[in-house]
């Protein structure tokens, strides 16, 4: 019989992951019955909580706050060790002392999105009405729902206007939604590698991922946690497929080529002969250790539904009419998930609405994931944009 | 040429910070009214935009090179990476008071279409370009028998980005052809100084190293 290997079961971290969903090892803002979250689907979510991290110090006039948004599978642990995996924060190239999002100058906030699994209310949280985990009883949420929850957090923190909103991918969608929906509360915005709507191809990839999760018999209609199972194969396959879309042909070729994994010759089996196979399997299995399968369904769905223009008679420029927010839109040449054409569409709409927008396309072969990596040109432009905005805001002395 | 009567003299003392800026930039800046909204197409490192912003003008830029865009963003300017030939079409009508095309026309693929777009997007356009009728250009071709190269245009014929050179005379003819009104025209010498104002067109075409034109739409009902 031909030898077969599949994704390893996530023996480790399962308990920590479950614990983080209700009792995150970060700050938590609780919103009781008097402050429901009004969801686009028509449901009032209450009570709910938002888990968040802050870095740096809020200044006296509360004008130096930057809200960062994480991407699909990220969380609030931007620049500290991750409580489940023990790995460094996901944006340490960008956030920290002396980094473009300088914690010596700015007060940085990042919250786990609603629907997430790291402490903000989502399908992995306990539903107080039933005492059971929400699972698929959790209402379907949207990007505007996530942002509406964030406005409640910012209110709670006593901040009126954010100095900047910054994020890549799904995080960039939130930055655009903030700018379109709450322009007076956003002084500047840095949306990276994103779009104002999810493309048909991207919806298709998400559907592939969801079907992989739901086809896993261990998924049990979303109630795996009660049945002592976990759809690690389905979620792992979803992650493997998604991970390919985050890279590029050139990056995969440069990193792996056709090189073999710990062997000289093919084994004539379905083992991971190639390094690229081994890498993808590792990506799949390490992801399932830290992420909730149902949460993956909800967050991909939220991205699918995203379409800012749809709320403005299909005219994107209407969404940004009259805004005073300064924007810097960034894309990457090898990003085929959110290609430069999507960013250009944003820029054209912003130009048409007279907004103060800059746009840079960064040359790199590292694909969509480039925004998370050490790409000096991207870091430089982010720094430059925020510094010039900081001068305009009076946070940074001019002429320096 | 009939348009010569429309040429108006330029007045106004040079600003105190004049020596930091290029001669043609100062000239362009003098043509722009304070408080207006300006798009600089092919804005390079953003020097002109910076000069304009010191004068209370709301500026935007388009620049082809990534390096240029990055330097502009570092200066706090609102500049997008783009191409005059392909991206002007995406700007709405009447979005700006002025659209500036400084030393870029000769590098576009379709100068006529670009010029028409400038005056669709802006109420006025300011266009500057190197004059290929400049006597040193003529002399190099006539006597040297090779494609002209100057201090300001040092590239060889095979690696120059400038694919549509024209003379001041050619440009004036194009403006007539597409019904564009010339509100002001200035020729600058090799050192960026304006030539004397009462000179005839042939003199400008021979001794102007570059031409700077303030244009508007001629007549209504375009």
The pLDDT tens digits of the residues spanning B74-103 come to 888 999 999 999 999 989 899 999 999 999
Question: Are A135 and A296 in contact, with CB atoms under 8 Å apart?
Answer: no
Inter-chain residue contact B78 with A356, CB threshold 8 Å: yes
Of the listed ranges A155-164, A306-315, A333-342, the least confidently predicted one is A306-315
The reported pLDDT for the residue numbered B18 is 53
Inter-chain residue contact A359 with B74, CB threshold 8 Å: no
Indicate if the pLDDT at residue B15 is higher than 90.
no
CB-based burial label for B162 (10 Å; 0-12, 13-18, 19+): middle
Q: CB contact, 8 Å: A318 with chain B?
A: no
Inter-chain residue contact A384 with B81, CB threshold 8 Å: no
The whole-angstrom separation of Cα A302 and Cα A120 is: 15
Alpha carbons within 13 angstroms on the beta-carbon side of residue A210 total 19
The whole-angstrom separation of Cα A334 and Cα A339 is: 8
The reported pLDDT for the residue numbered B125 is 97
| Average of per-residue pLDDT across A290-307 | 97
The reported pLDDT for the residue numbered A268 is 93
pLDDT, chain A, mean: 94
Indicate if the pLDDT at residue A47 is higher than 60.
yes
Chain B residues touching A381 at Cβ < 8 A: 70, 73-74
A179-219 pLDDT, tens per residue? 999 999 999 999 999 999 999 999 999 999 999 999 999 99
Using left for φ > 0, alpha for ψ between -120 and 50, and beta otherwise, residue A262 falls in left
Question: Are A123 and A138 in contact, with CB atoms under 8 Å apart?
Answer: yes
Indicate if the pLDDT at residue B222 is higher than 60.
no
Indicate if the pLDDT at residue B220 is higher than 60.
no
Of B69, B90, B91, the CB nearest to A360: B69
The reported pLDDT for the residue numbered B219 is 67
Q: Which of B62, B56, B30 is nearest to B212 (CA)?
A: B30
Question: Are A343 and A335 in contact, with CB atoms under 8 Å apart?
Answer: no
Tokens of A353: 């609405």
CB-based burial label for A129 (10 Å; 0-12, 13-18, 19+): exposed
CB-based burial label for A257 (10 Å; 0-12, 13-18, 19+): exposed
| Average of per-residue pLDDT across A138-152 | 98
ipTM of the modeled complex = 0.82
Indicate if the pLDDT at residue B14 is higher than 50.
no
The reported pLDDT for the residue numbered A12 is 60
Of A352, A359, A377, the CB nearest to B81: A359
Inter-chain residue contact B69 with A385, CB threshold 8 Å: no
List all residues 6 or more positions away from B98 whose beta carbon is below 8 Å from its beta carbon: B31, B32, B36, B37, B38, B39, B122, B123, B124, B125, B126
Angle at A365 between CA A359 and CA A370, to 5 degrees: 60
DSSP string across A32-63: -TTS-EE-TTSPEE-SEEEEEEEES---TTS-
Q: CB contact, 8 Å: A189 with chain B?
A: no
Tokens of A237: 């396959």
Q: What is the DSSP letter of A133?
A: B
A331-372 pLDDT, tens per residue? 999 999 999 999 999 999 998 888 999 999 999 999 999 999
Q: CB contact, 8 Å: A376 with chain B?
A: no
- Indicate if the alpha-carbon torsion angle A258, A263, A268, A270 is positive or negative: negative
Would you list which residues of chain B are within 8 Å, Cβ to Cβ, of chain A? 37, 60, 66, 69-70, 72-82, 90-92, 95
- The maximal CA–CA distance of chain A, rounded, in angstroms, is 73
Tokens of A144: 């505007």
What is the 3-class SS of A312-372, one letter each residue?
A: HCCCHHHHCCCCCCEEEEEEECCCCCCCHHHHHHHHHHHHHCCCEEEEEEECCCCCHHHHH
SS3 content of chain B, % helix, strand, coil (to 5): 35, 25, 40
The reported pLDDT for the residue numbered A9 is 62
Of A317, A360, A363, the CB nearest to B73: A360
Indicate if the pLDDT at residue A125 is higher than 80.
yes
- What three-state secondary structure class fits B32? coil
Indicate if the pLDDT at residue B11 is higher than 50.
no
Chain B residues touching A387 at Cβ < 8 A: 74, 76
Inter-chain residue contact B74 with A347, CB threshold 8 Å: no
The reported pLDDT for the residue numbered B12 is 38
Size of interface A-B (CB pairs under 8 A): 67
B46-83 pLDDT, tens per residue? 999 999 999 999 999 999 998 899 889 988 899 999 99
A223-262 pLDDT, tens per residue? 999 999 999 999 999 999 999 999 999 999 999 999 999 9
Indicate if the pLDDT at residue B17 is higher than 70.
no
Closest residue in A to B77 (Cα) is A358
């Amino acid at each position: 019989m031909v030898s077969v290997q599949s994704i390893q079961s996530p023996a480790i971290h399962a308990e920590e992951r479950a614990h983080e969903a209700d009792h995150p090892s970060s700050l938590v803002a609780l919103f009781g019955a008097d402050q429901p979250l009004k969801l686009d689907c028509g449901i009032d979510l209450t009570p709910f909580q938002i888990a968040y991290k802050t870095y740096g110090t809020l200044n006296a006039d509360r004008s130096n706050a930057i809200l960062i948004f994480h991407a699909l599978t990220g969380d609030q642990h931007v620049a500290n060790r991750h409580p489940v995996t023990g790995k460094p924060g996901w944006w340490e190239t960008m956030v920290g002392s002396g980094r473009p999002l300088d914690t010596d100058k700015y007060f940085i906030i990042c919250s786990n999105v609603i629907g997430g699994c790291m402490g903000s209310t989502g399908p992995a949280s306990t539903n107080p009405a039933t005492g059971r985990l929400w699972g698929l009883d959790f209402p379907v949420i949207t990007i505007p729902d996530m942002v509406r929850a964030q406005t409640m957090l910012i209110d709670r923190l006593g901040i009126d206007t954010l100095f900047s909103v910054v994020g890549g991918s799904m995080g960039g969608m939130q930055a655009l939604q903030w700018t379109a929906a709450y322009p007076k509360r956003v002084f500047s915005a840095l949306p990276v590698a994103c779009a104002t709507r999810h493309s048909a191809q991207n919806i298709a990839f998400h559907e592939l991922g969801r079907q992989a999760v739901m086809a896993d018999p261990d998924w049990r209609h979303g109630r795996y946690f009660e049945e002592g199972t976990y759809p690690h194969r389905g979620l792992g396959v979803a992650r493997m497929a998604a991970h390919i879309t985050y890279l590029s042909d050139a990056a995969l070729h440069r990193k792996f080529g056709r090189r073999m994994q710990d062997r000289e010759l093919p084994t004539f089996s379905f083992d991971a002969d190639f390094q690229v196979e081994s890498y993808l399997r590792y990506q799949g299995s390490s992801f399932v250790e830290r992420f909730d399968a149902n949460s993956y369904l909800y967050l991909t769905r939220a991205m699918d539904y995203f379409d800012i223009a749809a709320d403005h008679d299909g005219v994107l420029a209407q969404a940004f009419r009259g805004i005073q927010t300064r924007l810097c839109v960034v894309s990457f040449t090898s990003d085929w998930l959110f290609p430069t054409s999507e960013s250009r569409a944003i820029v054209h709409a912003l130009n048409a609405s007279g907004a103060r927008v800059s746009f840079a396309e960064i040359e790199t072969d590292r694909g969509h994931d480039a925004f998370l990596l050490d790409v000096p040109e991207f870091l430089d432009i982010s720094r430059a944009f925020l510094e010039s905005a900081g001068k305009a805001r009076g946070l940074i002395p001019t002429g320096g | 040429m009939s348009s010569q009567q429309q040429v108006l003299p330029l007045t106004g003392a040079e600003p105190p910070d004049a020596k930091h800026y290029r001669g043609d930039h100062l000239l362009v800046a003098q043509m722009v009214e304070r408080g207006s909204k300006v798009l600089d197409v092919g804005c390079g490192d953003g020097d002109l935009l910076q000069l304009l912003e010191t004068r209370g003008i709301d500026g935007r830029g388009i620049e082809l090179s990534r390096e240029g865009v990055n330097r502009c963003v570092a200066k706090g300017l609102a500049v997008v990476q783009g191409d005059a030939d392909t991206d002007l079409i995406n700007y709405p009508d009447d979005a700006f008071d002025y659209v500036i095309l400084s030393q870029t026309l000769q590098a576009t693929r379709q100068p006529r279409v670009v010029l028409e777009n400038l005056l669709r997007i802006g109420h006025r356009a300011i266009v500057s370009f190197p004059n290929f009728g400049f006597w040193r250009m003529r002399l190099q071709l006539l006597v040297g028998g090779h494609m002209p190269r100057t201090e300001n245009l040092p590239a060889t014929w095979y690696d120059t980005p400038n694919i549509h050179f024209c003379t001041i005379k050619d440009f004036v003819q194009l403006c007539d052809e597409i019904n564009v009104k010339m509100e002001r025209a200035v020729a600058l010498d090799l050192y960026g100084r304006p030539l004397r104002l009462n000179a005839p067109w042939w003199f400008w075409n021979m001794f102007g190293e570059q031409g700077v034109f303030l244009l508007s739409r001629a007549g209504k009902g375009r």
